[in-house]
Structure 1
Amino acid sequence: MSQFSRLFWIEWKKLFADKTIRKVVFLVPIIYLTLFGFLYSEEKVTNIPTVVVDADQSELSRELYRGFDADETFGLIGTVPTEEEALRWIDEGEASIALMIPAGLEQNIKAGRGAEVLTVIDGSNMMISNTAVRAANTVVKTISAGATLKKLEAQGSWGDEGMALYTGIDFRYRVLYNPTFSYLSFMVFGLAGTVLQQVLFLGIALSVAQEKEQGTWQTSVATNSFFAITASKLLPYLLAGTLNMFIGFTLLLKGFGVPYAGSTVDLMVVATAFNLAVLCVGYMISYFFKDQLQSTQIAMMIAVPSFMLSGFTWPFLSMPTAVAAIGKSLPLTYFLDGVREILTKGHGLSAVGHDLLVLAFMSVVSLFVAYLIYTFQKRKTAGTQAESTIG
């Protein structure tokens, strides 16, 4: 047997003999691919929350309403009397699209005058905005063609005149928050948050696991309080993570000129809450595993798919309920929502109160679970030492 063959078979046997490596190579890809398959199982974005302003109150405006209602892309959630009210719904996140039907629409069409319908779209999620623009244009043009054909039919005007048909309703749209459909403004914040989260997850998980491998963890648990251990572990990484967040977003906003509307101070408040939640979750995870390899695996399994599950690119409304529930249990989801509210929409901390509350809740629950495990390990260590003394 050649040297290559011998080395190959040694590694091949290790691949199947080591349970940890076997899981990484064969099980993790299946888990990810199954999860992503369910994530995009809806195939397209549907039921986008849509509000309607009908200032015309005509048969044609009602036909437009029915057209949007029949298209699965839109989920009509109500009508409001004014454009200002519709824009407020979009600004507060209650709706993603507002259909503005102007007064005199039907009369202008009957008189042969041009008329337009405006669709206002929340552009902070490009998947929603791109889908909405295409679908709204299709619905308006379809209704417009139908209305014009009815007029021609009533006049007996077909043939060449019908071929030169003028569609009377002109479709207009206005995109809020990201009017240029810039992928730099859209994607870069999500990717930045994902990278910074992964660094913190790995850092804190490896910190505890390293002590376990070195055999100093039991001594540390037996001789130090939970508060002392936790504070000493979390604080350095919290400071480093906050500094990384500051440097990273300064580079993006100032160095690359990514446009933003809100306060960077508010952003750092959300970033600190996010960093703390990530560290607490990572710290809790580290209690369950005996070495750095296992801790790394779990941290990576959480961090890698979290960007796609966060609702930042593919909206929760188009995810299966179970998959959306997983996404809503991840810290990155609430950080990216806060970034979008502050930097993209220009809102203050009052708009991200829910995000801050959930991140704080994640931190508290994670620390509580870690405390329970710490208490169990401390009692176990004390019992072991007592048996050794008696022996």
Structure 2
Amino acid sequence: MFKQCPAIMKRELFYMWRDKGLRNILLIGPLLGLFLFMGIYSHPRIDHITTAVVDLDQSEASRQVIAELRNTQDLEIACYPENFKQLEELVKRGEVMVGVVIPENYAKNIALQRQTRVAVVIDGANITYATNAASAVLTVTRNLGAQVGVKTLIARGIQPNQAKEAYQSIEFREEAWFNPTLNYAYFLVLALVLNIWQQCCMLASCMNIVGENGVRSWLQIKASGLSAFKLFCSKSIVHISVFMLLVLPVYYLAFVIFKLPLNCGIITFLLFTLIFAVSLHSLGTLISSFSSNAVDASRFGMVIALPSFVISGFTWPIAAMPQWFQPLAWVLPQTWFFQGINYFVLKNPGWEMMNRYFLVLGMMAVLCYSLSALFTHCFQARFR
């Protein structure tokens, strides 16, 4: 029954290899992305954020604030502007990301136990810098606040040890789980590379049916007595096999050479990648089945593949998206894949939770392949 399948698979593999543009995209794209992103995110965290300090008080107390700022690794004092206007110009030109303005009478207000405000300006044009800078400044302000509070209690006659215990009776200790060092590479690199991979796979799968949608092609298929099922089943096996072969060196480099974390078994992760590859290919096949030509199929595929990473909730939580949009995000297989990657790579919550990811991706594949078969059947009926 399937004697013709090896010949069809060989034919499809030849066509994929003959297409130089597609071949280079599939072979080079994911690997190039891996080296690029590993280079970009090789430093585990953002530190030494350029900071400017405007000291309008010039007192021992203000110098203590500057010392605390120097002691944090995340901030690096680059200059000391004389006034707020100079600080504003430095931030506008991007020469500093953080500005700290210590007001006049800072030491006097502290001594008199008055509330005093130290202005902290953070360049919000770069969200990544701004988030890290805000966290670093918060740490410094906590330390300074604790020191001033303890000194105030001591001034009121309380013993130093008692003052410290009274002011710091509750200690909040932060602890990051699953990515303790908050390493950007652990969180982003693999997902960004697999995003390139899925776009390349989508581009290839969108050619599955539309490549045969010519009168000459269908007449040849009809004359050979080959069923459409065997034809596209054989073609799909080749595509999915190529997709998996292309991702293997990416995984080897990511987990073995670059030591990115993988908290589940490699077999489980490969099976998850396989079910996603099948689901993604089914979506591309569906697009291919109703597209009028290869150009349109590629356009439809890229319209879905390009924004799917952002829609997936990996970089911006789905819960923070508009409520009407949230159900739409879960329609795409990419959403289930990238959400699952985060669980598998960093957490591995177990099969009881993750089996629904396999199930949904499998159901998506069945649905898309079924619709593709229906559209293809209608198209093929024209040549009977």
**How big is the alpha-carbon RMSD for the aligned residues of Structure 1 and Structure 2?**
3.4
Instruction: In structure 2, give the amino acid aligned to 1:170.
Output: E
Matched residue, 1:318: 320
**Is the CA contact 2:208–2:236 (under 8 Å) kept in the aligned structure 1?**
no
Q: How many residues align?
A: 239
Q: Which amino acid aligns with 1:360?
A: G
Counterpart residue type for residue 241 of structure 1: F
CA distance in 2, matches of 1:302, 1:215: 30
Q: CA deviation at 1:211?
A: 2.6
Q: Is the 8 A contact 2:201 2:281 kept in 1?
A: yes
1:307 to 306, 309, 316: 309
Q: Does 1:270 align with 2:272?
A: yes
Quick one: which of 335, 338, 346 aligns to 1:336? 338
Deviation at 1:210, TM superposition (A): 2.7
* Consecutive unaligned residues in structure 1, runs of 5 or more: 1-126, 383-391
Aligned to 1:169: 170
Deviation at 1:372, TM superposition (A): 1.3
One-letter amino acid of the structure 2 residue matched with residue 317 of structure 1: A
Relative to structure 1, the CA distance from residue 171 to residue 204 in structure 2 (aligned partners, 3 Å threshold; closer, same or farther) is same
Q: How does 1:184-203 map to 2 (within 5 A)?
A: 184-203=185-204
d(CA) in 2 for partners of 1:314, 1:220: 47
For the pair 1:355 / 2:357, whether they are aligned, the reply is: yes
C-alpha distance in structure 2 between counterparts of 1:301 and 1:256, whole Å: 32
Equivalents in 1 of 2:271, 2:352: separation in Å?
12
Note if contact 1:331-1:359 (Cα within 8 Å) is conserved in structure 2.
yes
- Indicate the residue corresponding to 1:345 in structure 2: 347
> CA offset at residue 246 of structure 1?
1.9
Identify the residue that residue 371 of structure 1 maps to in structure 2.
373
Residue pair 1:341, 1:351 contacting (<8 A) in 2 also: no
Equivalences for residues 29-48 of structure 1 within 5 A: none
Q: Distance in 2 between matches of 1:302 and 1:221?
A: 33
Q: Which residue is equivalent to 1:49?
A: none
**Alignment-mate amino acid for residue 189 of structure 2:** V
Partner of 1:180: 181
Residue 241 (structure 2) aligns with: 239
Contact 1:266 1:349 in 2 (8 A): no
Name the SS of the counterpart of 2:324 in structure 1. helix
Residue identity matched to 2:180: P
Residue 173 of structure 1 and its aligned partner are, at CA, apart by 0.8
Q: In structure 2, what residue type is equivalent to 1:296?
A: S
- Displacement of 1:322 after TM fit? 3.0
CA 1:311–1:217: 2 relative to 1, 3 Å: farther
Query: Is the Cα–Cα contact under 8 Å of residues 205 and 299 in structure 1 kept in the other structure?
Result: yes
Evaluate the alpha carbon distance shift between residue 256 and residue 212 of structure 1 in structure 2; reply closer, same or farther with a 3 A threshold.
Answer: same
Structure 2 CA distance for aligned equivalents of residues 224 and 257 of structure 1: 48
- SS of equivalent residue, structure 2 residue 375: helix
Alignment of 1:70-81 (within 5 A): none
CA distance in 1, matches of 2:277, 2:202: 9
Maintained 8 Å contact 2:207/2:288: yes
Equivalent residues in 2 for 1:1-391, closer than 5 Å:
166=167, 168-212=169-213, 215-217=216-218, 219-220=220-221, 223-382=225-384
Shift of residue 249, structure 1, vs aligned partner: 1.1
Q: What SS does structure 1 have at the residue aligned with 2:263? A: coil
Which stretches of structure 1, 4 residues or more, deviate above 4 A after TM superposition?
Answer: 165-168
In 1, distance between residues paired with 2:235 and 2:168? 67
Structure 2: how far apart are the matches of 1:233 and 1:284?
Answer: 14
- TM-score, structure 1 length as denominator? 0.54
CA deviation string 1:120-175 (max 9, x = no partner): xxxxxxx9xx79x959x79x97xx99xx89x98xx999xxxx9xx95553332111
Q: Secondary structure at the match of 1:176?
A: coil
Matched-pair contact (CA < 8 Å) for 2:210–2:297: yes
Residues 207, 285 of structure 2: 8 Å contact kept: no
User: Cα distance 1:170–1:341, how it changes in 2: closer, same or farther (>3 A)?
Assistant: same
Gap regions ≥5 residues in structure 2: 1-127
